[in-house]
Amino acid sequence: MPEQIAATLIQALPYIRIFAGKTIVIKYGGNAMIDEELKKAVMRDLVLMRLVGINPILVHGGGPEINEAMKKLGKEPEFVAGRRVTDAETMEIVEMVLTGKTNKSIVAHLNGEGVQAVGLSGKDANLLIATKDTDNGDIGFVGKIAHVNPEIIHTLTNGGYIPVISSVAVGADGQAYNVNADTAAAALAAALHAEKLILMTDVEGLYRDFSDKSSLVSELTASEARQWIADGIVDKGMIPKLEACASAVEDGVPRAHIIDGRRAHALLIELFTDTGIGTMVR
């Protein structure tokens, strides 16, 4: 009913006011990037954010599509400590899939909703500079973000564009590096002095006890997050996400969120309602 629509808009008012003119970096991934209905909902959430004056920045990876492409080419994906072993041939596939396929598909979907999106990889304008990550031994062209050059993002957002960034970084020598998309999003959020980092996942959030779905943690500090990881009580799959959140907060981002991308319009719910969803690190 029209009255309810109006009432809802008015309920969202204080949140719209808070975020107007702010930058929000979103790691887009999981089911929200696969399910057609969810994908469409995300695109519209981004359009709405832009219209109420928010600058959304999208960062994405694309594991499933990479695996599929590798298999077509007869290569078996291999992982060490959750990171993809990335020889030169694999890196080429990663880059082609993420930057040439996944990225442009998101861009085309956003443009279809009437905004203007521009896709970038970390190579463009030297946006994401990486060094080789040898934390797990030499597993090839796997990189750590060493530096972010955010100027191109400002150029694009000032021009009214939504930037969409694939998680490929560049080394000093022009070599492409495969970087974790959560980590890349965190680094970008810090470099852009973003108001929020939001990681879209396929879980509800962080559980105090992973086997007990009622133990969802709605809020913790960055130092608590670091402690919990050190104490070994964080589920392995959640560690890099929680680390990304902690690191963004440590670098000055006021709030970082892990939200459930399987829920339609999770972004709007997080931003514009007083329902806290997922887990917030601050």
In 3D space, the residue among 26, 6, 27, 15 whose CA is nearest the CA of residue 52 turns out to be 15
Told to judge if 138 belongs to the known catalytic residues of this protein, a careful annotator would answer no
Q: Is there a binding annotation on residue 178?
A: yes
For residue 160, indicate whether it is catalytic. Answer: no
CA 149 from centre of chain: 18
The one catalytic residue among 45, 205, 241, 278: 241
Catalytic site includes residue 104 = no
Stretch near its own copies under the rule CB under 8 A, chosen from 76-84, 109-117, 188-196, 200-208? 109-117
d(CA 271, CA 19): 8
Contact between 37 and its own copies by CB under 8 A: the answer reads no
- Our answer to whether residue 30 is catalytic in this structure is yes
Question: Which one of the spans 28-36, 43-51, 180-188, 206-214 is the region binding its own copies (CB under 8 A)?
Answer: 43-51
Q: Which of 31, 144, 161, 204 binds its own copies (CB under 8 A)?
A: 161
Cα(98)–Cα(17) distance, rounded to whole angstroms?
A: 35
259 touches its own copies (CB under 8 A): no
- Per CB under 8 A, does 34 bind its own copies? no
Instruction: Say which residues have a Cβ less than 8 Å from residue 192's Cβ, sequence separation at least 6.
Output: 23, 25, 57, 150, 153
Stretch that binds its own copies, among 26-34, 201-209, 242-250, 270-278 (CB under 8 A): 270-278
Pattern 164-183, its own copies, x by CB under 8 A: ----x-x--xx-x-------
Which residue number, 107 or 249, has a Cβ lying nearer to its own copies? 107
72 near its own copies (CB under 8 A): yes
Q: Report d(CA 137, CA 160) in Å as an integer.
A: 42
88 binds its own copies (CB under 8 A): no
Our finding on whether 42 is near its own copies (CB under 8 A) is no
Binding residue per annotation — 62?
yes
AA letter at 62: G
Residues contributing to the annotated binding site for substrate: 62-63, 84, 178
> Catalytic residue numbers?
27, 30, 63, 182, 241
